Amino acid sequence: MSNDRLEQLFDFLKTSPDEPFILYAIASEYVKRGDSVNALSYFQALIDKRPDYVGTYYHFGRLYESLGRKDEAIAIYQKGMTVAKQAHDMHAYSELQTVYQSASGIEPDDEDW
């Protein structure tokens, strides 16, 4: 894959440093390239800068899971569920709840949500 997309995203970031989707897109681009170190860094930067950006938590947690870092994934999912609930984003909450339960080994009927 060409660096053009990543370069373009960094150009967008220079002109719109407060736009959370750009950080999300950069992290996602690094995931696509198999560069987990940079992907983790940009997902973390996004959470640090915009903890209310609900879309981050699912993909950040899934990356942790793919790296065998289950405890960190579970913590991200838990935080994401809290953020999604505060944002009244029940769709995101449900998705995060599902991956949280799976990562935690909880059967859907084991815990009352």
User: For the residues 41-52, what does the mean pLDDT come to?
Assistant: 96
DSSP secondary structure letter of residue 88: T
pLDDT band at residue 113 using 50, 70 and 90 as cut-offs:
very low
Round the average pLDDT of the chain to a whole number and report it: 93
DSSP assignment of the chain, as one string? Answer: --THHHHHHHHHHHH-TT-HHHHHHHHHHHHHHT-HHHHHHHHHHHHHH-TT-THHHHHHHHHHHHTT-HHHHHHHHHHHHHHHHHTT-HHHHHHHHHHHHHHHT--TTTS--
Instruction: Report pLDDT for 28.
Output: 96
Q: Where are the domains of the chain?
A: 4-104
Q: List the CATH code of the domain at 4-104.
A: 1.25.40.10
**Residue 109 predicted with pLDDT over 90:** no
pLDDT band at residue 1 using 50, 70 and 90 as cut-offs:
very low
